Every structure is written in structure tokens, then in C-alpha cells.
Amino acid sequence: MQNFNYTMPSTLIFGDHCIEKNVKVFGTLGKKAYIITGPVLNGKQTGTKHQSVIDVENALKSQGVEYRIFDGCIPNPPVLECVKATQIVSEYAPDFLVAVGGGSNIDTTKAIELLLRYPGHDPYEVLFGDIAPERPTAEITGTWCMGASDDNKKIPFITVATTAGTGSEITGASVLDREDIDNKAGTKPFVWSDYSFVDPRYIKTCDTKLSQSNALDALGHGLEPYIDTGSKDHFMVQTYSEMGFRLFAEIKERLRSGKMTDEDYEKQMLMSTIMGFSETQGQTGVPHGLGYPLTHVKGLPHGLACGAFEGEYLKIFKDTSKVDNALKMMGFSSIDDFANYVHDVLDPHMEGMTVTRQEIEEWTDTFYNTEWRVLRHPEKFDREDVKGIYERTLAKFIVD
């Protein structure tokens, strides 16, 4: 067995009514909290708050914690929107944050937490540059002092996942829209939640599009590090990914039909979290990098954009032994079988989108110039391979 490193500093609390059963956690991090969420979950559009927000508010009240709610999170959060949110949150000087929602809300919260620690610095340098260390050096104290430049104390935060796909509730990175490079990018992977609450009840009201897109995004979080160069022989990546593959096999046909049972949703939520473990120990690779322009340029949800490339990417492998092993555990007979499944499930959700060949050329150049993504592929990987994946995945949507 090869050497490996294992890091998982977040405490995961999984199961139905997990917040209600563990309300005391909310009293351990301070006396003032800021809930970070979006307008839909907070009831601005429907007049009814999502159960997740209700549960968090009840938990805070039960522990005598004062709180405010920021419900301005938007999908695919840009850096500058995170900066604006940080300014609002900083005026209240909370002891801790509570992220409620899917990947965008949680990623926004992670960005806020990091930006609060380094006031006065360029936000791009804080999130992606050398201002913050690769790993936090300060002890988690539960007490926050604005501008504490001596140790830049970590601000504790809790994540409450309401989707089953991003894995962001249990990972350390935040994926943001970067206006400076006109693309998406991930921050340094060390912004960990202190507690992550994962309640399968919260995803049972998701529409079919969101559920299907999230499931294939989560699958990629396990599949990409499982077969990529950087972590394909990592014992913990293999262990977690294979657990996730088997769970996916149990739900994949009902996921395709849109007729999920309560038990299926529980398995999907568990699979998403487990694949988050895998992604944390490894890293996403080629399909996620290919998907970023569909989100940044075309406005597709992150999970849909990334998941769409999983099938066609596998077709470029010459040594398919590792791929075949993964597909067998997922219940697919071949790479073509899996690629057809991905098209069958996700293509309908991209209807109305158009792509030009010029855009594909530009996206191909952008991806191929991202050296670390290219190096994640374990074999020779040239520009024509990248272009071919784009063309096959988006064939139905090319207009010239």
C-alpha cells in the first residue's frame, strides 16, 4: 500500500432531523450568528421558509444565540458579490456563520469567512493568492476580532446542505466566478466547516433537474480523483469513491426516470457526502474544468455543467482498466453505456442553450492552458482531445 495523507477536520452529523437532535452544537460557537442563505430558502419568493432555515433558526433560539440572516446569495457566486456580502456581515461582527443551501450558498459562506479574516487586502489575493496560508495556523477559538492580523483567527462556521451534489458542505474549497480572469476557479482548499449537518429530508422537495444534475456532479467528485493522475492510487480516495459508486448503482435507474423513493434520496445524500470525502482527499480533474465555461458563459448550474462531461471524457482513455472497474461498480456495461446514460439524463436540461464552434475553440484554449488540469489526466492528453470532448458532449447544441 502506498503512503497517503488524510485530512477531514469537519464534524459530520448525518440523518433525518439531525439539527433538531443536536441543537446544543449551535451554542458552542458563540452568542452571535449570521445565517448565510438565498432568497428562495428564506421564503422571499414563496412566502414560506424552507425547513432547513426553520430548523436553524429554532436551534439558534433554543441556545439563546442572537442572529441575523443574509439571504442575498446567488447561483455561481462572483468574487465581488462575496465581497459585498462580507461588508454586510462584518458590520454585525458575528461569532460564527451558518451556511444554509446548496453549493453556491456554502461557497459564498466560505469566501466570507476567509475575507473577514483578512480585511483591507485584495480579495483575489486572499482567496486565490498568497495572503492566506495554505493551511490555517490559528486555533479555532469561537471568538472573532475584526482585523486580528496577529493570527487571523478562523471564524467558526456550520454548513447545512439542502442539495445532494456539490459536496461543498464537507470540503475545504470554494468555487467562485472570477471576474479578473473571466472564468471560474477554486480557492485554496482549507476553508473547513466546524460542523456539517446533512439531513436527507431537505432534498426530497428538489425538482428532477436539480436532483439529476446534482447526482452526476457528485458522481464526478468521486470518479475524477479515482481515475486521475494525482490521486488514483490514494487508498482513501479509492475507498470512498467505491462506496459512492455502489450507492449510485442502487439509485441510477430511478434517478433517470425521475421516480425516486425516500430511500433513494437518503442514498443520494449519503453518496454526495461520501464523494465529498473523496474529493477532499483527491481533487476534481478534467470534466470539472471543462464545465466551468458552461456555467460562467452560458449560465448553467455548476452541477449540470460539470456532470455533462463525465461520460465523453472517459472515451479518451487508452488504458481503461481503472475506468472499467468504476463502471462495473456503478452498474454500467461499457463506457458507451455510461456516456449514453449521462446524455439521456442531462441533455434535456440543457435545451435552449446554443454553442458556437468559435466558443469551443476558445474554451479549449482556456482549458488546455490550465496546466494542472491537463496534468490530472494519466495519459498523453493534447488539445485535440480536449476539443473532441467538447464537441461530442455538446454536439446537440452546436449551431454553426
Q: Does residue 190 share a domain with residue 217?
A: no
pLDDT confidence tier of residue 223, bands split at 50, 70 and 90: very high
Q: Does residue 378 share a domain with residue 283?
A: yes
The domain that holds 183 is classified in CATH as 3.40.50.1970
Domain count, the chain: 2
Lowest mean pLDDT among 24-33, 65-74, 108-117, 222-231: 222-231
To the nearest 10 degrees (0 to 180), the angle between helices 286-296 and 383-393 is: 60
Q: Does residue 167 share a domain with residue 74?
A: yes
Within a domain: residue 63? yes
Q: Does residue 215 share a domain with residue 171?
A: no
Is the predicted pLDDT of residue 132 greater than 80, yes or no?
no
Within a domain: residue 272? yes
Within a domain: residue 285? yes
Judge contact between 368 and 330, C-beta under 8 A: no
Q: Does residue 232 share a domain with residue 158?
A: no
> How many whole angstroms separate alpha carbon 279 and alpha carbon 287?
13
DSSP H stretches of helix in 11-129: 51-62, 79-92, 103-117, 123-128
DSSP 283: -
Judge contact between 32 and 93, C-beta under 8 A: yes
Domain boundary among 151, 185, 201: 201
Q: Domain range spanning residue 241?
A: 207-397
Helix, strand, or coil (residue 70): strand
> How many whole angstroms separate alpha carbon 123 and alpha carbon 101?
23
Within a domain: residue 254? yes
Of 39-48, 138-147, 169-178, 310-319, where does the model show the most confidence?
A: 310-319
Within a domain: residue 3? no
End-to-end CA distance of the chain: 51
* C-alpha distances out from residue 71 to 36, 43, 91, 139, 341, Å: 6, 9, 16, 29, 36
The domain that holds 241 is classified in CATH as 1.20.1090.10
Within a domain: residue 1? no
Could you give the percent of the chain with pLDDT greater than 90? 78
Q: Which of the two residues, 6 and 177, has the higher pLDDT score?
A: 177
Q: Does residue 181 share a domain with residue 235?
A: no
- Cell numbers representing residue 265 in the block: 434520496
Domain boundary among 180, 201, 222: 201
- Cell numbers representing residue 310 in the block: 463525465
Within a domain: residue 331? yes
Is the predicted pLDDT of residue 358 greater than 90, yes or no?
yes
Question: How high is the mean pLDDT of the chain?
Answer: 91
Q: Does residue 253 share a domain with residue 109?
A: no
Residue range 284-326, pLDDT digits in tens:
899 999 999 999 899 999 889 999 999 999 999 999 999 999 9
Q: Does residue 89 share a domain with residue 21?
A: yes
Domain boundary among 201, 231, 252: 201
pTM over 0.85: yes
Within a domain: residue 114? yes
Write b or e for each residue in 181-210: b if 16 or more Cβ atoms lie within 10 A of its Cβ, otherwise e.
Answer: eebbbbbbbbbbbbbbbbbbbbbbebeebb
Residue range 60-98, pLDDT digits in tens:
999 999 999 999 999 989 999 999 999 999 999 999 999
Q: Does residue 246 share a domain with residue 343?
A: yes
> How many whole angstroms separate alpha carbon 33 and alpha carbon 273?
25
* C-alpha distances out from residue 234 to 10, 230, 273, 274, Å: 20, 8, 18, 15
pLDDT confidence tier of residue 134, bands split at 50, 70 and 90: low
pLDDT of res. 1: 55
Q: Does residue 279 share a domain with residue 169?
A: no
Q: Does residue 134 share a domain with residue 29?
A: yes
Q: Does residue 226 share a domain with residue 197?
A: no
